[in-house]
Amino acid sequence: MITQTLRGIRQARNKDDPPDVERQSGLPYRILLTVMLAALLGFALGVDERLRGWEAYIASYVVAVAARTETGFNIVHAVVSFDRETGEAKGLQITPECTAAFLVIPLIVVTALIVWLRRKVSVWPMLALLAAVVLLALTDQARILTVVLLIKGLGFEPGYYWGHTMVGTVISVFGIGCTLVVYTVLAVRRGGSAQVGAVSVP
């Protein structure tokens, strides 16, 4: 009887705890996630130039399979090369303004703010960031592949114009838009199995 009474008092106290108690109880998780995101941000800033080089590396394999052509890459200069129908090799350099990867850094910052300011700790912001990175990478690969296919089909100048300036821009805008929508939906999601419940101090 006494045990049940004490249990009822504890449950009532926990139920009436203000939001500050929930924030304090989830503080270790919040600090851990924030430190992880800060480390990820530092890494992304440190290898910002190399990110485009890795894009070129991945694109060399994507293009080789999808366009059925021999390819090469240069990680240092972020260049992916491919053979044209004439047998002549051409290279595409991935410049900072031609990649969607530039959105990764601000998304990391936004995710850190969401994790720190949210009342209850949740892994949804981290899942949102992961999904956004994957979608941005797919967007860039789709754009590079489109440029290569149009150059091989229309010739270098018209193919580059349509692939890079026209169709490529549409792909980038659509891909970035979808990424931001998916990120927002996941980042603000509440509850579910991905919720890390706050542990109240008895």
Kindly report each contact of residues 160-166 with a partner whose C-beta sits within 8 Å and lies 24 or more positions away, as own/partner: 164/98
Residues 73 and 57 sit within 8 Å (Cβ to Cβ)? yes
| Closest C-alpha to 94, from 145, 31, 133 | 145
d(CA 195, CA 177): 26
Q: Strands 89-93 and 79-83: what pairing?
A: antiparallel
DSSP assignment of 27-43 equals: HHHHHHHHHHHHHHHHH
Tens of each residue's pLDDT in the chain, 202 residues: 434 433 443 444 444 444 444 445 577 887 888 888 888 888 877 776 777 888 888 888 888 888 888 888 777 777 787 776 655 677 787 777 677 777 888 999 999 998 888 777 788 999 999 999 999 999 999 999 999 888 888 888 888 899 888 898 899 999 999 999 999 999 988 654 444 443 333 3
Q: Which residue has the tokens 């995710």?
A: 111
